[in-house]
């Protein structure tokens, strides 16, 4: 089961629940704001969140983490380069906001780690690093369910910006080609700020065709 919850801080961000239908245990991905809204969904649906997963460390993807850590007491996982974003408001872009963000108690996981339910390891996600939007950018992929939570690496008909701290356009383009649009064509791509798309649809986009022509 996948539930998309749009949360509003300074901008609208897609947070996602990825939940095992049988046990109602699962993961919360990119809780960017409105912790009470996310907690209400958890209570109403009877979910047990085992881990919070972050695709990257920008404020609009991590804003609700401190409140959820207090309420849920579950691990928060980031790619290994995420520490600077978690601990530095300049890097996570919250320095100029009313309440600058600084995360603690984060678990930094190795590239290509598998994140699984405690009592049902068959249900899980595979983390693949895709830096370029940020230095810690990654996706979480399920071959079984044909989905990838891609953060701000790819959007419907476009891709993420690379002009922010730790950004690198060449890295992002390489990662998109090698790790995202190389997935099976019917893989659903669930991003941080757009409607869902698919690998097949994005392979037809002019920006991707131009990228192939330049390579």
Q: How far apart are CA 23 and CA 123, in angstroms?
A: 10
Round to the nearest angstrom and report the end-to-end CA distance of the chain. Answer: 38
Strands (E) across 71-199 are located at 76-79, 106-109, 114-116, 124-129, 138-142, 147-151, 154-155, 158-159, 188-191, 197-198
So what's the pLDDT on residue 207? 79
So what's the pLDDT on residue 133? 98
Which residues is 140 bridged to in the sheet? 127, 149
Q: How far apart are CA 177 and CA 172, in angstroms?
A: 9
What is the β-pairing status of strands 12-19 and 25-29? antiparallel
So what's the pLDDT on residue 10? 86
So what's the pLDDT on residue 215? 54
Where do the domains of the chain lie?
2-213
Domain 2-213, CATH homologous superfamily name and number: Ribonuclease Z/Hydroxyacylglutathione hydrolase-like (3.60.15.10)
Give average pLDDT by consecutive 10-residue segment, the chain, 215 residues: 94 97 98 98 98 98 97 97 97 92 96 96 97 98 98 96 96 95 98 97 86 65
Q: How far apart are CA 166 and CA 91, in angstroms?
A: 8
Q: For helices 35-45 and 65-72, what crossing angle results, to 10°?
A: 40
So what's the pLDDT on residue 213? 65
So what's the pLDDT on residue 203? 94
């Amino acid at each position: 089961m996948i539930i998309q919850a749009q949360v509003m801080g300074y901008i609208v961000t897609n947070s996602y629940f990825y939940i095992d239908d049988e046990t109602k245990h699962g993961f919360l991905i990119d809780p960017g704001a409105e912790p009470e809204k996310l907690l209400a969904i958890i209570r109403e649906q009877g979910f047990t969140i085992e881990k919070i997963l972050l695709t990257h460390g920008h404020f609009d993807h991590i804003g609700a983490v401190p409140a959820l850590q207090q309420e849920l007491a579950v691990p928060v996982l980031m790619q290994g380069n995420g520490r600077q974003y978690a601990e530095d408001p300049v890097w996570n872009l919250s320095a100029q906001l009313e309440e600058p963000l600084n995360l603690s108690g984060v678990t930094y996981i190795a590239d290509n780690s598998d994140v699984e339910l405690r009592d049902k390891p068959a249900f899980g996600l595979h983390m693949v690093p895709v830096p370029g939007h940020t230095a810690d950018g990654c996706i979480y992929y399920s071959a079984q369910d044909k989905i990838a939570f891609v953060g701000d690496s790819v959007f419907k008909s476009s891709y993420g910006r690379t002009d922010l701290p730790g950004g690198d356009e060449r890295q992002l383009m390489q990662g998109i080609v090698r790790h995202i649009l190389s997935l099976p064509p019917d893989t659903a791509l669930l991003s941080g700020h757009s409607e869902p798309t698919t690998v097949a649809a994005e392979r037809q986009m002019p920006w991707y065709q131009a990228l192939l022509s330049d390579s």
